[in-house]
Every structure is written in C-alpha cells, then in structure tokens.
Structure 1
C-alpha cells in the first residue's frame, strides 16, 4: 500500500523566523512554559470576544487545554504542527495578545493568525505586530506570499490586512465553525516584492 505524501512545508528545517522580535514598546516572543498563567488569564478575560470568531475557543479556557497548547508551542520551532507562535508583550512583560505564522498552505506560503486581549483592542497592537511578522515572513527564503484568513463579517480582523496593503484575493463560502461566522471567508494576500522593490 502506498504511503500518503506528507504535506509540503514552507519553513525548511532551520529556515524560520526569529524567536524574538523587538518593536520598541512591544515584544513578540516565542511562548515559554512560564507564560501559562498570563496566557490563561488573557484568554479567560477575552473569552466572549474570541469565542465569537475563533473555532479553537468553542469552550471557556481550561487549564488542561492551555497546558497542552504550551507543551506543543514549546516542543519545537516551528512546533510539530508547523506553527511559530508568539505572545505579544508590553515593555513591562504584560501579555497583550498573540500572533503566529502557520506553515500549512504549501511550500511557498505562510499564514498569519492573531488575537488581542480584550482589554487592549483598538490600540493598533495587532496591526504593528502583523506588519513586522509580514515583513519577516516575506524575507524568508522561498516564501512567495503571506495570507491572512478571517470571516467576512469580522470587520476588526479584516481591517488589519487592509491597513497593511494586503489584497483581498477571494471571498468564498466556508463552514460556520464559530457563533459569529457568516459562512463566508476572506483570504487576504501579500506577495513577495519582485526584485526587492
């Protein structure tokens, strides 16, 4: 019996984004096991907002699920599922949200996903973080483009790629997996500049 071909990955072994990205008063860094309490508290405080749009937040946060997530996120870079997941922290170490690069779209593409602590929305934190991660991702060898996916009704999430010059590649029907989902997903794309322009 023929074995299935494993999915092609964009992040070759050793060719990955940095584990720390300093943005003045913001720090994006790889999750650490010591982030457990801050992460659990941020997700608990933001549950209503995240539950509306995020399929992975179908239920209130549990300590067991957060331990599983952190174990996976700290198991490798990228983690075993192809994710490079960062916490977004302020200059005093407070957790403001999360952002990451997903390596599941094929050999030349990466996806950015994000969420913001509900106490810190409307301050441009996700836009700044996504801008930095977009530039880093597009500078990696052999990456042709970066995508951001969101529900068509999620105007706050869609505002991020719009502000960053992503183009709306398509709006297509998709399964409704979260309470506020419209059943239509947006795919926003930023391509690698040609000839460094």
Structure 2
C-alpha cells in the first residue's frame, strides 16, 4: 500500500503516515518486540490488540489533521520496521519525538536517519522552536539516538516514568533548530 504523505529518508527508507493499512504490520512488530518494549514503554504493559492499535492510530490521525501530531512508520525496503512520531504544541511551538524499532532492524542507522528527517520536517512545516526527546535513563539505545541527532541532555526527572511495577528516572533532551 502507498501513502499520500511520504518523507524520503534515504535509499530504501521512508516515513509514511500511520494509517489503517499500517496497523496489521505494527501489531506484528509490537508483539514480536513486546518484551524489550515492556522495559521502557507504559503502553506496552497491556495486551496488544488490533482494535486498540486501530483506535490509537485513528486518534493520531485526527491530531495530524489538526496539526498536533505527525505519526509515521518507518519503511525499509517496503517493509514497516518501526515508528517515529512527533507530538506538536502549536501554542508553545514545541514538539516531542518518540520512536521504537524492530530488534532485527537495529544497528543500521535507520532510526537516527528517520528521526532526523522528522525533526527537520516539524521545524520547517510547523515552525517549532524546540524539540524534546524523553527517555528512561537506563535506555541507552534511545538516549544514543537523541545524542546522535544533536539533542542536548538538559536534565533528569527522578522517578517520573511508571513502567509496570518500576518507576524510571527520565532523561530530557532538547534541540533548538539553528536560526
């Protein structure tokens, strides 16, 4: 399936909107990666169902139409391998990036390249003046992506991220686009 919204990332890689046609593949990826996602993501604690994913994607698409989100999946060689999305606060002109990728697609630079394209897109298309990435302090892979993208570690919120029975400290990274 093709999407009308496509952000080219590089050879064999692009970002497309999270639409209904992406839900089956995203569910398969979530289930296949659930144990590693449960370490860091509150949403991964519950049962993963197609109905819940479709409902979430629908809300994200409504936010996209209203200019409050850019929910995308990462396609590599035509296959969906992960997601990178931005939540946008138009009043404050800020955004927050969130992402995860299939374990089998790690280590190829796909996430860093995809997040860089989305970062630049929200700066140019939405005029954001600040972007944040929030990651559990122990989530070294996610933090490494933020650092490769030029985000600066601005501080740590203690015991703020509830994940299952654990509360994680949360590293806050900020990016200010060049003026």
Q: What TM-score bracket applies, with the shorter chain setting the length?
A: 0.7 to 0.9
Residue 99 of structure 1: which of 73, 84, 87 is its match? 84
Residue 163 (str. 1) matches residue 148 (str. 2): yes
**1:21 Cα offset (Å):** 0.4
CA deviation map 1:15-66 (0-9, x unaligned) = xxx9320122101011121122111111110111111101111123112211
Matches within 5 A, 1:29-178: 29-75=16-62, 77-78=64-65, 82-91=68-77, 93-104=78-89, 107-140=92-125, 142-178=127-163
Kept after mapping to 2: 8 A contact 1:21/1:29: yes
Runs of 4+ in 1 over 6 A off after TM superposition: none
Distance 1:153 1:106, change over 3 A: farther
Q: Give 3-state SS (helix, strand or coil) of 1:192's partner.
A: coil
Bigger CA radius of gyration: 1
Task: Report if the CA contact (8 A) 2:16-2:73 is conserved.
Answer: yes
In terms of fraction of residues, the more helix-rich structure is 2
CA distance in 2, matches of 1:148, 1:110: 9
TM-score by length of 1: 0.80
The CA RMSD over aligned residues, in Å, is 2.2
Structure 2 SS opposite 1:28: strand
Task: Give structure 2 stretches of 5+ with no counterpart.
Answer: none
Matched position secondary structure for 1:103: strand
Q: Does 1:22 align with 2:11?
A: no
User: So what's the TM-score if we normalise by structure 2?
Assistant: 0.87
Q: Number of aligned pairs?
A: 175
Further displaced range: 54-63 or 104-113: 104-113
Distance 1:134 1:148 in 2: 11
Which of the two has greater strand per residue?
2
